[in-house]
Amino acid sequence: MMSSVRGDEAGVGADMGVSEDNTVTDIVVVGAGAAGLFAAIAAATAVPGVRVVCLDGAKSVGAKILVSGGSRCNVTNTEVTDRDFQGGPSRVVRHVLRAFPASRTADWFRVAGVALHEEEGGKLFPDTHRSRTVLEALLGACKGAGIEIRTGHRVTEVHPSGAGFRIVTSAGEVDARTVLLATGGKSLPKSGSDGFGYALARALGHSLVPPTPALVPLVIVNSPFAAFSGVSHPAALTVRDGGDRHVVAGSLLWTHTGVSGPAALDASRHWHRAVEEGRRPDVLLSALPGLTFEGLEQLLIEAVRVHPRGTLRSELAGMLPSAVLEGLLRHAGADPVVPLSQLSREHRRAAIRGLLEVPLTVTDSRGYQHAEVTAGGVPLEEMVPATMESRRCPGLYLAGEILDVDGRLGGFNFQWAWSSGWVAGTAMARRLSESRV
């Protein structure tokens, strides 16, 4: 089923006469997700009258926006810098974020009728707690700007042709002066983002940093900790792969297949990248992330003096859910109920390691079906940072998750979509307007 939603057509192609020839569209956006819709809006805002058509293979747009943030959509964060992202060079990410920072995202949504409020970690959510509000604001802005959205139009080929491009879709062909690829990555393929955009980019001269899932639960086969399933607590995970060491802290959720929750999701990209690059990553858990080995040892030594009959269980109660505390101690060979005064130095240290340096034998992740984003993608070095135009194919632009940028949990991935989409859309419209002067 395909459909076409045309916005207010009055003025489209008329104000500045960009689209004199109706058979050639000024801007075709391939992929009407967060980046594509925002780029379309930016283009129509920068140069009123520019004709923008969004093509999407899905039956309806915005599937990923709707499921995001537990259906509440974590739109952005109060503070977003290049340090919140991995992938291509941070100077390029910084350039793009500065062109359209998180404060402008919040302003744009407020003006569009979506008030945002701050939650833990600076995350900004709509006051309605409904991601649909965010999607409706974007679609409303598209409608107001006369942007046409054609669903059920899966793009299969993009060729340079004449003064622009010919775009072949599952429902016919379209000619365009400029094209934006905003087809996302490979995460949640049932939403329509299945990685085909990479093939489109490659056919137009781009290379590809091999994609891997990111922000995805980690799998531990035959986990000795399966009994903790459903329990969560603060934790730090360290991913070590030879030279590199990445430490992420946050809530950890034990599951029947391994670990999830913010700490595991943020750690997952480091695990996957190491495996992808042929290194063998170790994952170490600290279940008491505020404590160092020396600090915990001092605490236990002191406890013997203050509470001579105290045990590991009684002294550490409240620091961790009891099932996890006892399970980790027993796994390390430490008896939680032996009085601390009878604990040898060796056993005390084994207990500490059992809480602060727990090796997790991660064997895989739950894959793209469960990943929130894709790491890897089209290298940023192949883009002009000020415009998001391809250095390989003039007139072609890229934005969003298709690029080799992935953010940590907290609204950063949408911010990348908004920022890169805005930069691309604005530049595309200006290019067309300048070529007409």
Ligand X SMILES: Cc1cc2nc3c(=O)[nH]c(=O)nc-3n(C[C@H](O)[C@H](O)[C@H](O)COP(=O)(O)OP(=O)(O)OC[C@H]3O[C@@H](n4cnc5c(N)ncnc54)[C@H](O)[C@@H]3O)c2cc1C
DSSP notation for 267-298: HHHHHHHHHHTT---EEEEESSTT--HHHHHH
Q: Which of 7, 13, 31, 217 lies at the binding interface for ligand X (CB under 6 A)?
A: 31
Task: Give 45 or 60: the residue with its C-beta nearer to ligand X.
Answer: 60
DSSP letter at 224? Answer: T
Which region, judged by CB under 6 A, interacts with ligand X, from 53-61, 90-98, 203-211, 377-385?
A: 53-61
Task: Give 105 or 223: the residue with its C-beta nearer to ligand X.
Answer: 105
Task: Give 28 or 274: the residue with its C-beta nearer to ligand X.
Answer: 28
Task: Give 109 or 225: the residue with its C-beta nearer to ligand X.
Answer: 109
CB 391, min distance to ligand X, A: 20
The one-letter amino acid at 102: A
Residue nearest to ligand X (CB): 33
Residues sharing a CB contact under 8 Å with residue 396, sequence separation 6 or more, in sequence order = 158, 165, 178, 179, 180, 181, 204, 389, 390
Task: Give 32 or 360: the residue with its C-beta nearer to ligand X.
Answer: 32
Cβ 13 vs Cβ 53: under 8 Å: no
Cβ 142 vs Cβ 7: under 8 Å: yes
405 binds ligand X (CB under 6 A): no
Q: Which helix (H) or strand (E) holds 97?
A: helix 90-99
401 binds ligand X (CB under 6 A): yes
33 binds ligand X (CB under 6 A): yes
74 binds ligand X (CB under 6 A): yes
CB 88, min distance to ligand X, A: 15
Q: Which helix (H) or strand (E) holds 141?
A: helix 131-144
Distance of alpha carbon 419 from alpha carbon 426, whole angstroms: 11
Site string for ligand X, 175-204 (x = CB under 6 A): -------xxx--xx---xx--xx-------
CB 236, min distance to ligand X, A: 22
Task: Give 241 or 382: the residue with its C-beta nearer to ligand X.
Answer: 382
Task: Give 74 or 238: the residue with its C-beta nearer to ligand X.
Answer: 74
Residues sharing a CB contact under 8 Å with residue 231, sequence separation 6 or more, in sequence order = 253, 254, 321, 323, 324
- With 0-12 / 13-18 / 19 or more C-beta atoms within 10 angstroms meaning exposed / middle / buried, residue 221 is exposed
155 binds ligand X (CB under 6 A): yes
> Which tokens in the block code for residue 424?
């691309």
CB 77, min distance to ligand X, A: 8
73 binds ligand X (CB under 6 A): yes
Task: Give 6 or 307: the residue with its C-beta nearer to ligand X.
Answer: 6
Quick count: other Cβ atoms within 10 Å of Cβ 409? 23
CB 309, min distance to ligand X, A: 49
68 binds ligand X (CB under 6 A): yes
> Which tokens in the block code for residue 355?
């809480």
Helix (H, G, I), strand (E, B) or coil at 303: helix
Q: Which of 64, 150, 206, 270 lies at the binding interface for ligand X (CB under 6 A)?
A: 64
Residues sharing a CB contact under 8 Å with residue 70, sequence separation 6 or more, in sequence order = none
What spatial distance separates the first Cα and last Cα of the chain, rounded to whole Å?
Answer: 40
Site for ligand X in 411-430 (CB under 6 A): 411-414, 417
Which region, judged by CB under 6 A, interacts with ligand X, from 57-65, 133-141, 206-214, 286-294?
A: 57-65
CB 413, min distance to ligand X, A: 3
Handedness of CA 134, 390, 431, 24 (dihedral sign): negative
CB 39, min distance to ligand X, A: 9
Pairing label, strands 52-55, 24-30: parallel
Could you tell me which of 43, 46, 108 has the C-alpha nearest to residue 75?
108
> Which residues bind to ligand X, rule: CB under 6 A?
30-36, 55-58, 61, 64, 67-69, 73-74, 154-155, 182-184, 187-188, 192-193, 196-197, 372-373, 400-401, 411-414, 417
